[in-house]
Structure 1
Amino acid sequence: MNSVYIDLAIGLVLAFLLFSLLVSGVNEGLVRLLGIRSKFLWAYLTDTLDGVRGKRSWIPSSIGEVFARLPFSKDARPAFSPLPPPVDSTAKTWAGRLYERLREIDHGKSGKTSIASIPPGRFAVAMMEIVTSEGGVPALLDRLKADGSPLYGPLKGVWDAAHGDLEAFRKGVEDWFDGEMQRLTMLYRRYVRWVIAALGLVLTLVFSMDSLEYGRAILTDNAIRAQVAATADGGAQTLPALRDKCPDHPADPYGCVTEVLSAPAFVQIVGNAPVSVRIPENGSPTWTWNGGEWLHRLISPGHWPGFLITFFALLFGAPFWWDIFRRLTGIRARAGETTK
């Protein structure tokens, strides 16, 4: 009996793991396709270096802006350039001047920079190059103050703490930017959680995955397999019991067993999407429109608890379900891998 519950647990965890990986894959594909990370970083840098100046911030301030403004509105990123850093800056903004010092690590994508992560040490070196071009830190601070740049305050504090030591100033800028990137990463992840939740809801409804129904299907598969074993051991006198479990095949209960073993519970549950595919024994795969039945499942209150369980399960993410799956199956972690 314990093996039945273990099979049930492994089946559910495996389904949640695979669907979580699908959600993560779709999210990562959208992020790369739309350049979300790069846009998010340069929106922050534009606000930090050049200020808002009476306009709204480039950084999205609400979940609605994450879905609408950040991916599709005006892009804050500088135009990509394959040229090396110039001796004399031609940029009209501080974000543009920063990019001039960073574009040697860039590669073009849709005409805009694709830089999505700046090492703090590299940022500090870029700022020191700008310091040199401005004639020193005090001159740079005066220029930032005159332009109304929000960067003036942090750099002024770092310069005062450095007491005129350029190396201490560089290290202070590096530490400050490292802290800012950690804060920005936390903000980005907070928005990403909402995106993951939205994708999880969409995929749950698209596949109409009812976790409770899936659990019952796993138990049914196990019951039929157990009955097959009993029939094999008990002979023909146990065949009526197997026939009762296969009402669709009254004359050939073994055909039912074959169908169950060739179409396990997971295959059945992912077959509830609007378009399903069936692979026959001979011939090419056939695609079937399943929209009517799919819509009926969505509007049936009996499936809603299972949909809700699936949705909340996907919010835990693939790493969580992989850890649970590894513990249930006894798969050992690789050397040096730690459980978070």
Structure 2
Amino acid sequence: MLSVYVDLALGLVVSFLLLSLLVSGINEAFVRLLAIRSKFLWAYLRDTLDGADAQGRSWLPAKVRDVFAALPFARDPRPVHSDQPSPAEPGTLPIGETKAQDAMVKLLYERVQEIDHPTKGRTSIANIPPGRFAVALMEMAAAEPEGVEGFLAKLKEMGSPLYGHLRGVWETAQRDLDRFRAGVETWFDGEMQRLSMLYKRYVKWVVAVLGILVTLLFTMDGLEYGKTLLRDNAFRASVTAVAGAGTEAYDELKARCAGSDPVPCITETLSEPAMVQMLQHALVSIEIPAEGDPTLHWNGATWWDRLTTPSHWPGFLLTYVALLFGASFWWDVLRRITGIRSRRKDQ
């Protein structure tokens, strides 16, 4: 009896894992296609280094709904891509009121463009190591005649928000260059963690939306799927019992197959496990026959009838909530049930 519940748990976990992987895959494709990570980073850098744009708006939207509208489709905060190595001598900051709106961003990209990937249009840099950022600032400060003090004075004249952060780090380091570089690295690492929290919040909303779409597209009723798994297990058990029960059990299977030959009936049933049966309710399903090429089927009428049936809604809700836990959660559950060990722990 215990094996029945183990099979039920495995079936549910595997189905939720596969659907969660589908959601994660769609999200990753969306992020890569629109370069969301890179836009998050450079929107933050523009706010921190140069401040708001000419209209006084922050480059990095504060609300998640604004992020959906601004970063993917509206303004692109990334600098123009360059395939040239960083110049030996960094550029200088503009003096006084002649500053450019994105002067600091341009100078920073000038110092880190060597880590950029080949691309067309704008940069694809989505991560700047804190050590590399600190070295880039030190190189810009070294270009000033008065060193760090002159660099900070220029930032103050420009009205750069970075001035306040670096001034505090410089005073805390007691004007020691090595301690200042380490302090900048620590500060930038903390800022990247804060930015990661904002990005994760954005991703959660994306996953929530994609979870609804995947659940409704496949009309995956978690409760019905559990019941189908139990029926599938019972049928397989009855087939196994034929080998030791004699002709009487064979007659029962023959009657269950509506008088047809039980052999092809059983073969066809066993070749379509519960997961395959549930996926056949999707808007578009695929059929792989024993011979010939796979075929696609449009199930618009069946799908809509299933979607508008209130009795399926609790199962849809169960599936949706399960997808919100994410693929990593269901993979961990699967490892615990099956006893699969992580390679990292083994090493």
What TM-score comes out, normalization by structure 1 length?
0.94
Could you tell me how far 1:243 is from its partner in structure 2?
4.5
Percent identity over paired residues: 58
Distance 1:335 1:199 in 2: 31
Of the candidates 117, 131, 142, which is equivalent to residue 121 of structure 1?
131
Pairing of 1:146-157 with structure 2 (within 5 A): 146-157=157-168
Pairing of 1:16-35 with structure 2 (within 5 A): 16-35=16-35
What's the counterpart of residue 308 of structure 1? 317
What's the counterpart of residue 177 of structure 2? 166
Could you tell me how far 1:90 is from its partner in structure 2?
7.5
Q: Deviations over 1:175-220 (max 9, x none)?
A: 1101101111111111111111111111111111111111111111
Cα gap change, 1:227 to 1:292, in 2 (>3 Å): same
Could you tell me how far 1:174 is from its partner in structure 2?
0.7
SS across alignment from 2:157: helix
Pairing of 1:1-340 with structure 2 (within 5 A): 1-53=1-53, 54-86=55-87, 87-89=89-91, 92=100, 93-135=103-145, 136-243=147-254, 245-246=256-257, 249-336=258-345
What TM-score comes out, normalization by structure 2 length?
0.92
Cα gap change, 1:110 to 1:303, in 2 (>3 Å): farther
Cα gap change, 1:320 to 1:286, in 2 (>3 Å): same
Distance 1:219 1:14 in 2: 15
Distance 2:335 2:231 in 1: 25
Could you tell me how far 1:337 is from its partner in structure 2?
6.2
Q: Deviations over 1:9-68 (max 9, x none)?
A: 000001111111111111111111111100000000000001115522111222222322
Task: Check the 8 A contact 2:20/2:327 in 1, yes or no.
Answer: yes
Cα gap change, 1:159 to 1:69, in 2 (>3 Å): same
Give the stretch that moved more between structures: 327-336 or 116-125.
Answer: 327-336
Q: Deviations over 1:70-106 (max 9, x none)?
A: 1111200000011222325278411111000000111
Partner letter of residue 62 of structure 2?
S
Partner letter of residue 89 of structure 1?
G
SS across alignment from 1:288: strand
Partner letter of residue 153 of structure 1?
G
Task: Check the 8 A contact 2:90/2:110 in 1, yes or no.
Answer: no
Task: Check the 8 A contact 2:217/2:282 in 1, yes or no.
Answer: yes
RMSD of aligned Cα (Å): 1.8
Partner letter of residue 181 of structure 2?
R
Distance 1:268 1:8 in 2: 15
Task: Check the 8 A contact 1:224/1:257 in 2, yes or no.
Answer: no
Cα gap change, 1:337 to 1:296, in 2 (>3 Å): farther
Distance 2:255 2:108 in 1: 75
Unaligned runs of 5+ in 2: 94-99
SS across alignment from 2:107: helix
Cα gap change, 1:295 to 1:172, in 2 (>3 Å): same
Partner letter of residue 130 of structure 2?
P
Could you tell me how far 1:270 is from its partner in structure 2?
1.7
Partner letter of residue 299 of structure 1?
T
